[in-house]
Every structure is written in C-alpha cells, then in structure tokens.
Amino acid sequence: MSDKPNMRVPELLAARLRARIMGNKQMPGEKMPSARKLAAEFGVSVSTLRAAQAILMHEGLLVGHPRSGVRVSQSGTRLRVGLLSELNVLAPDGGYHRDLADQTMQEVRARGMAATLYCGAVRQGEKTDSITCPEFWDAVEHDRLDAAIILTAPSTATWFQRFKVLSLPVVGAPTPFSADNNELSMIVAGLHELRRQGVTRVAMLSWNHKTTGPVFEKTIAELGMSSRPHWVGGEFHPELSGSGWEAFRDMWAAYPDKPDGLLVTNDVFFRNAAMAVSEIGIRVPEQLKVVCHANRSSESFPVPFPHTRCEFDPRDNARILVDLLERRLAGEAPPVEPIQTPFVLVEVGESLGTQRRTARSPSEQLVNAEEER
C-alpha cells in the first residue's frame, strides 16, 4: 500500500475505510469484517488496521463492542462536507459561481453526504489575504467538518498555504485535486470554429495573455489565419467594470485594418464587448463573426447579434469536484494534471431568449473543420 508525503499509513488507511463506509458499502449498525480480513484486503498489518479503525472511532464513524467486534455507528455516519466560497456568491453578480455552489451542494447530498455552504464577502475581481468567512475556519478548528470543497478563493500565496496545511481532506482550485476551466482547449476550438465560418483575420480579447497568447498564435498559424498585435486586447482583469467595452473599442478604432472574426475568452469581457459592438454599429455576422466563452448560468444575458458560445455547465464542474473528493477520501493520489471541465459549442441567434440553440461538442466541430479543409 503506497503512502503519501506527510501522511502516516494509518491515516491513509482510515481515509479508505471512511470512503468505504460513506459509499454505503457498510450500513449503520453493520458489523465490520474482522481486523485480520480487512488487513489482508488492504495489504497492511493488523496493528495498522486497528490504528486506522481507532481514528474512525474517534470521529464517531465506528463503534467498538467487546463481544461483537467493530460496527458502523448507528448515527453520525454521514460525512460532513464544508463548501467554501470566499467569493460572495449571494451578490447580484454571483452568476455562475452561485449556480456552481448550488449544484455542488446537490451533488454532495445526492451521494449521501451532508453539505454546508460557507459564503465569504469577496467581490468579483477583488484579491485579499483576509479571511471573510471565519465560520468555515471555526468549523474546521472545532471538528464540525470531515472534508471540504473549495469553490472559490483568492489566488494568492497566503490562501494556497492556508489550504495546504488544512487539517482535513480538501479538494478544489488551490489543491492538487482540482478542475481546470479548459481555457486553452476553448481557444483552439473557438479558432477552429471561426475558421469554419470563413474567418481569416482574427482578434482576441483575453486578460491572461502570458498563458493564452502562445496557444492563440500557434493555432492561427496552423489554420492559415492572421492577426495583428493591436487586435489582441484586454490585459486587465475582466471583472473590472467596463473592461471588455473599452478593450474592444480601443482594438477596433486603433487602425483602419479590421478583423473579420473575434474570440473572447471571458464571459464578463464578452458582456461588455457585445455592448461596444452594438454601439459602434458593426454588422454581425456580415462584418464580424464572434465566438465567446460562456457559462450556462441562471443569469445568461441577451446578446443582440448571432454568435457561437463555448459553453460550460456548472453541473459538470460540480460532478468533477465531488468525484475528486471521493478519490481524496479513498486515499488515491491526485491527478497528474487538473481535470479539464468539458464544454460544448452552442450556436446562438439574435437573442438567447428567442432563438434555437444548436450545440456541438468541440470534437465534432474539429472533425467537421478537418473535413471541410
């Protein structure tokens, strides 16, 4: 049985036993297999197995009986999971993150665990090292939680360190058990879609140019498309008010040569950029074809022109997070790379509320593009 850095074998084994119990393989009050049988099953010594059982007895998941051995507790066998969002998902701009919190709570409970949401006060685009939800940390300190899922947290070194030393199993963005928003794959799929639509001169709005720029440049070269340095904009945080509006207007007005395709890698950028496209009077799709990042959220906003969305669903993200939690509880090693969140390409008419949506997977879109070439 392999061990993990900074984790003793009994604690690792306790995690696997806990996952076995929580997975409804052992019912409340049911007798556990003998220590010798379990030790053989997991490939450990009997003393190590008993040490792991002692950890679960301390948690209240197991109860020892002098004559009948170790049994699953009649009460308290539901794993208590804390869902932490330092971002204030209850704010009016909660959008996707609020939906993610809701879907993750539903997914946790559907798998027989107890879920509690802890909501902080950080606003969109804000970075702070301050703890804005002390209730979560109080619950950890007083052993009221067995595991945690981090939905959102500021991406600072202080926050990464806090989660690194957390005294319970934790998954989410600041940990090795995490999901990635698949931005680079979205850029590749988006450029293929624009090429399929006949675009040859492409612009991009993306705030993380250090990461997205090389992929963008490589892909447009492979597709025989072209771009200009002044057609790539948005080097400031997308949550800043009006950022996409200003970035697009600057890009469009800078020089007389214009792109005929636009890729936007952030949904907030796109919301503001769409306003600028309409205000300038650009005809879409005659003058400009548009592909954008989008979240399938309860707050989808209307756009007054046709476009294609690379659409992410919070339900997929929720399932990935809870899958990762179960892997973590079972003592499995973290994935080598973050799990990629899936998305679909959705063709949208002039209004999200009135048009017919046609969804395709990125793989279908890439195959069709290759056939057309």
Residue 370 has pLDDT above 50, yes or no: no
How far is it, in rounded angstroms, from Cα 184 to Cα 213?
10
Please name the amino acid found at residue 302. P
The confidence score (pLDDT) of residue 241 equals 60
Please give the share of the chain, as a percent, with pLDDT higher than 70.
Answer: 85
Residue 48 has pLDDT above 70, yes or no: yes
The confidence score (pLDDT) of residue 327 equals 86
pLDDT per residue over 262-314, tens digit each? Answer: 999 988 888 889 999 999 999 999 999 999 999 887 666 788 899 999 999 99
Please name the amino acid found at residue 216. F
3-state secondary structure of 147: strand
The confidence score (pLDDT) of residue 222 equals 97
Residue 156 has pLDDT above 50, yes or no: yes
Residue 4 has pLDDT above 90, yes or no: no
The confidence score (pLDDT) of residue 28 equals 75
pLDDT per residue over 118-129, tens digit each? Answer: 999 998 777 889
pLDDT per residue over 71-98, tens digit each? Answer: 887 665 677 899 999 999 988 777 888 9
Residue ranges with strand state E in the chain = 62-65, 69-72, 80-87, 114-122, 147-152, 170-172, 179-180, 202-205, 232-233, 261-264, 289-295, 307-312, 339-340, 343-348, 358-360
How far is it, in rounded angstroms, from Cα 83 to Cα 172?
10
Q: How confident is the model at residue 5 (pLDDT cuts 50, 70, 90)?
A: very low
From the number of C-beta atoms within 10 Å of its C-beta (0-12, 13-18, 19+), residue 373 rates as: exposed
The confidence score (pLDDT) of residue 192 equals 97
Provide mean pLDDT across the span 11-19: 83
The confidence score (pLDDT) of residue 9 equals 82
Residue 318 has pLDDT above 90, yes or no: yes
Residue 239 has pLDDT above 70, yes or no: no
The confidence score (pLDDT) of residue 299 equals 61
CB atoms within 10 A of CB 356: 7
The confidence score (pLDDT) of residue 306 equals 93
Residue 153 has pLDDT above 70, yes or no: yes
Residue 238 has pLDDT above 60, yes or no: no
Q: How confident is the model at residue 133 (pLDDT cuts 50, 70, 90)?
A: very high
Residue 145 has pLDDT above 70, yes or no: yes
The confidence score (pLDDT) of residue 181 equals 80
The confidence score (pLDDT) of residue 146 equals 86
Q: How confident is the model at residue 240 (pLDDT cuts 50, 70, 90)?
A: low
Domains plus CATH for the chain?
Answer: 9-72 (1.10.10.10), 80-175 (3.40.50.20), 183-372 (3.40.50.2300)
- Give Cα 326 distance to the centre of its chain: 16
Question: What is the chain's mean pLDDT, rounded?
Answer: 84
Residue 356 has pLDDT above 60, yes or no: no
Residue 369 has pLDDT above 50, yes or no: no
pLDDT per residue over 56-71, tens digit each? Answer: 887 777 888 766 788 8
3-state secondary structure of 359: strand
pTM over 0.85: no
The confidence score (pLDDT) of residue 276 equals 92
